[in-house]
């Protein structure tokens, strides 16, 4: 156990003894605040630091600065302190004043300030919920890039630490000091965490970051994008309810809507993303609870008029949920356009490194609370380590999206002009059926381009296999480019006629451009096209 890093912060010395040969005579160290006599005990047998039991004065916790306790927590000192503090003396008046200042909602803790906060949970310095420190970050975070980096963290997170990065809180449960505190928590007089499935300090930082980026009152983070979508539908659509969705969407979402929801008597109308007449008809003929679609959609990148759809659905009492995974919060603000809910597969662009699974639901506090209740029952909880990876990934979100938007736009134009490409699907192209709509409601068109090679399945396989940079894999949105043939990757269990019912041709390619140099990607795609 290393303890020297805390030495300069502690205004007193501690005592140490050997174990088990404790003579009762405790020599006080003189050379250093954190030094120990190597020959304590009977005889002259030397003891290393690992063989010593540290005995702290009874008021050690109160005198140890908040900063020192935070810095020491990860190396075990604070745990020893907590176990050693048994005198139960009340805190000094100065500490009590500091406690009151730290718990005041309107008083953020200044950088470098030492504050004794008795509201912390355990020895790691977790505040009792995110409401313990509330800071209006919008006053100095105006751009999406800054928000993605600092929202939920700088002066605003509910974890007391001097670390720039948010700590990973690996715990499955949280303790209460006394039963009275537990009762106060149950009766909502005391803010705290309780059980890992219901909340985690690391996860709350991620939720707050996404909320600020989306302009949402609340966000719920879950174990995957599919978990987010399915739990949202189960929470917001009653038994016997009706959903409107679109023809082009992620296949697993379609399977859930067409196969699982009917077991609860929930029916669905499926319309073209641009079919406003079909939308009006479905709203008139059914008691619709939810309109759900992606925009842009997967894999044809169709766009829905979010503003118009929201007005029509709200007039009939239906909620609108947009899966914005392809767009990201940087390219499209679905809530600002009128949607009630936005979901993301955080696995994709939010994480951005092909190394973590996650999903999120954002919207008003009332709506997200309904989803949260069902989530607590079903238990699709994200691991705090995964939440940390998503927080880390989001710090480069704007840089990645700018590069991927640019590369995809340029490559879409190259592909559209190439004689061996029959058709290109990308909202940034004038040939796209919703190009003008995309220009209206998006600030960038994303990093995924779908296109049809001029040839059959064998020709398309040859093209994909000739590529040298992208990985042949599912998913998208990461730093590494990824390519796949949907007919094989996602629909291979269906016959060719069945695949074509969904518009999935054998020559369709979905290319997710990463952050590699554009010139390298262009050269690779061109040489692969020349190979067919």
pLDDT at position 342 over 90? yes
State the residue for tokens 């503003």.
Answer: 307
Domain hosting 321: range is: 144-395
Q: Above 70 in pLDDT, residue 173?
A: yes
Pair of tokens at residue 374: 């069902």
Judgement on whether residues 315 and 460 belong to the same structural domain of the protein: no
Q: Is residue 93 part of a domain?
A: no
Do residue 386 and residue 402 come from a single domain? Answer: no
List the 508-512 sheet strands across, edge first. Answer: 421-425, 448-453, 508-512, 482-484, 471-472
Q: Are 333 and 192 in contact (CB under 8 A)?
A: no
- CA pair distance 528, 264, nearest whole angstrom: 48
Instruction: Return the DSSP state at 433.
Output: T
pLDDT bracket for residue 295 (50, 70, 90)? very high
Q: Flag whether pLDDT at 94 surpasses 70.
A: no
Residue 303: pLDDT above 90? yes
What CATH number corresponds to the domain at position 294?
3.40.640.10
On whether residue 47 sits in a domain, the answer given is: no
Model confidence pLDDT, tens digit, residues 390-399: 999 999 999 9
Q: What is the pLDDT of residue 154?
A: 79
Predicted confidence band of residue 141 (pLDDT cuts 50, 70, 90): confident
More confident residue, 27 or 202: 202
Q: Which of these, 121, 125, 130, 155, lies nearest to 140 by C-alpha position?
A: 155
Q: Distance between alpha carbon 240 and the CA centroid of its chain, in Å?
A: 32
Judge whether 30 lies within some domain.
no
Between residues 150 and 30, the one the model is more confident about: 150
Dig out the tokens for 7 from the structure: 């030495």
Check pLDDT > 50 for residue 403: yes
pLDDT at 139: 61
Quickly state the pLDDT bin for 483 (edges 50, 70, 90): very high
Q: Is residue 101 part of a domain?
A: no
Mean pLDDT (whole number) for 416-440: 98
Q: Please, are residues 380 and 222 in contact by the beta-carbon 8 Å criterion?
A: yes
Strands 508-512 and 421-425, by their bridges, are unpaired
Give the pLDDT band (50/70/90) at residue 241: very high
Q: How many domains does the chain have?
A: 2
Pick from 144-148, 439-443, 491-495 the range whose average pLDDT is largest. Answer: 439-443
Residues 416 and 471 placed together within one structural domain of the fold: yes
The Cβ of residue 436 has, within 10 Å, a number of other Cβ atoms equal to 11
Rounded to whole angstroms, how far apart are CA atoms 156 and 314? Answer: 34
Least confident of 158-162, 277-281, 471-475, 522-526: 158-162
Q: Residue 261: phi, psi to the nearest 5?
A: -65, -35
Shared-domain flag, residues 330 and 405: no
What pLDDT was estimated at residue 464?
A: 98
Structure confidence at residue 138 as a pLDDT band (50, 70, 90): low
96 token code pair: 């009590």
At 270 the three-state DSSP class reads strand
Is residue 274 pLDDT above 60, yes or no?
yes
- The more confident residue out of 486 and 34 is 486
Give the span between the Cα atoms of 169 and 192, in whole angstroms: 14
User: Is residue 182 assigned to a domain?
Assistant: yes
> Quick check: is 384 in a domain?
yes
> What is the predicted pLDDT for the residue at 137?
47
The answer to whether position 277 is within a domain reads yes
Question: Which candidate, 73, 74, 115, 70, places its Cα nearest to that of 94?
Answer: 115
- Within a domain: residue 96? no
Give the H or E element holding residue 219: strand 218-222
442: nearest Cα among 353, 314, 328, 300: 328
Are 366 and 509 found together in one domain? Answer: no
pLDDT of residue 155: 65
Q: 451: domain CATH number? A: 3.90.1150.10
Q: Let me know whether 262 and 152 are in one domain.
A: yes
Q: Lowest-pLDDT range, 99-113, 231-245, 256-270, 334-348?
A: 99-113
How far is the C-alpha of 386 from the C-alpha of 203, rounded, in Å?
9
Name, of 6-20, 92-106, 150-164, 327-341, the range with top average pLDDT: 327-341
Domain C-terminal end among 353, 368, 395: 395
Cβ atoms of residues 214 and 258 within 8 Å: no
Report residue 47 as tokens: 């003891």
């Amino acid at each position: 156990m290393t303890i020297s890093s805390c030495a300069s912060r502690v205004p007193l010395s501690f005592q140490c003894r050997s174990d088990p040969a404790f003579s009762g005579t405790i020599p006080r160290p003189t050379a250093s605040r954190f030094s120990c006599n190597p020959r304590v005990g009977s005889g002259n047998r030397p003891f290393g630091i690992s063989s010593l039991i540290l005995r702290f004065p009874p008021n050690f916790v109160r005198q140890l600065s908040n900063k020192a306790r935070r810095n020491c927590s990860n190396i075990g000192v604070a745990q020893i302190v907590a176990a050693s503090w048994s005198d139960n003396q009340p805190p000094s008046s100065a500490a009590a004043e500091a406690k009151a200042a730290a718990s005041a909602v309107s008083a953020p803790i200044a950088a470098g300030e030492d504050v004794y906060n008795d509201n912390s949970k355990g020895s790691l310095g977790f505040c009792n919920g995110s409401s313990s420190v509330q800071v209006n970050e919008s006053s100095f975070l105006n751009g999406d890039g800054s928000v993605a980096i600092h929202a939920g963290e700088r002066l605003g997170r509910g974890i007391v630490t001097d670390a720039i990065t948010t700590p990973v809180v690996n715990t499955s449960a949280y303790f209460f000091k006394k039963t009275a505190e537990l009762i106060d928590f149950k009766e909502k007089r005391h803010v705290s965490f309780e059980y890992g499935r219901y909340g985690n300090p690391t996860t709350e930082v991620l939720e707050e970051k996404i909320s600020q980026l989306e302009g949402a009152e609340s966000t719920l983070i879950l174990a995957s994008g599919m978990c987010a979508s399915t739990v949202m539908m189960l929470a917001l659509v009653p038994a016997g309810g009706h959903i409107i969705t679109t023809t082009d969407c992620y296949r697993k979402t379609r399977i859930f809507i067409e196969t699982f929801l009917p077991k609860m008597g929930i029916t669905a109308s499926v319309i073209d993303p641009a079919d406003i007449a079909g939308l009006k008809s479905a709203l008139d003929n059914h008691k619709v609870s939810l309109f759900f679609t992606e925009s842009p959609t997967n894999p044809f990148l169709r766009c829905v008029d979010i503003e118009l759809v929201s007005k029509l659905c709200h007039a009939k009492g239906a909620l609108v949920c947009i899966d914005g995974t392809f767009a990201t919060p940087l390219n499209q603000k679905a809530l600002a356009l009128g949607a009630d809910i936005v979901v993301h597969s955080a696995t994709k662009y939010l994480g951005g490194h092909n190394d973590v699974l996650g999903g999120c639901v954002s919207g008003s506090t009332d709506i997200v609370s309904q989803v949260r209740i069902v989530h607590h029952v079903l238990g699709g909880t994200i691991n705090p380590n995964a939440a940390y990876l998503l927080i880390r990934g989001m710090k480069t979100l704007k840089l990645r999206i700018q590069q991927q938007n640019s590369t995809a736009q340029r490559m879409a134009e190259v592909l559209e002009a190439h004689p061996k490409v029959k058709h290109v699907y990308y909202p940034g192209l004038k040939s796209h059926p919703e190009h003008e709509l995309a220009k209206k409601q998006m600030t960038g068109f994303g990093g995924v381009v779908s296109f049809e090679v001029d040839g059959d399945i064998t020709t398309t396989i040859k093209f994909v296999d000739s590529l040298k940079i992208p990985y042949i894999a599912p998913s998208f949105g990461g730093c590494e480019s990824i390519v796949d043939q949907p007919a094989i990757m996602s629909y291979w269990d269906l016959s060719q006629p069945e695949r074509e019912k969904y518009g999935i041709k054998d020559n369709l390619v979905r290319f997710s451009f990463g952050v590699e140099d554009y010139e390298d990607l262009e050269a690779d795609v061109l040489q692969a096209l020349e190979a067919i």
